[in-house]
Structure 1
């Protein structure tokens, strides 16, 4: 295989990997958001049903707990997706540099 053929093929593969990985990460982010929305909806429904039976302090505590858990969940999904995006971008950049032969020896 010629060096130019290899570089062309490697660049195409790297580009495909980059696109596919970023699509997968976007899917992870979207799925996480949908799961969070479903959990919030279910929580709100259960809270509305049981709320009349709870004291005002317990209702405040439960609402605060929901907000705290939802915040941590949202930040966790965002942090994991952002970290994955950075890792993929770094890997792709290094691979492109290697294929182009720009690595210092």
Structure 2
């Protein structure tokens, strides 16, 4: 299975809110939004999927009102993509919304 994270409707807001999680894991800083609009962030997510640092766990929901998402975990993080790969969110594993994920497939 091949997944390639892409920007979606709420990408900017989610990127700005959660980019620090990936910065901490990778030991890097992402440029301000106006310089690359999150492109480097998406490339890094793709590389983490390809390298196996993020492992696909299946389909899950973030809460009872959300649709299904593609759940990846690794490096202390949980990546959620909408099918067919639109970035939804990045969470710290074992905390907050990550604990509410219900695997459905």
Question: TM class, shorter-chain normalised?
Answer: under 0.3
Q: Which has the larger radius of gyration?
A: 1
TM-score norm. by structure 1 comes to 0.24
- Larger helix proportion of the pair: 1
TM-score norm. by structure 2 comes to 0.24
More relative contact order, 1 or 2 (CA 8 Å, 6+ apart) = 1
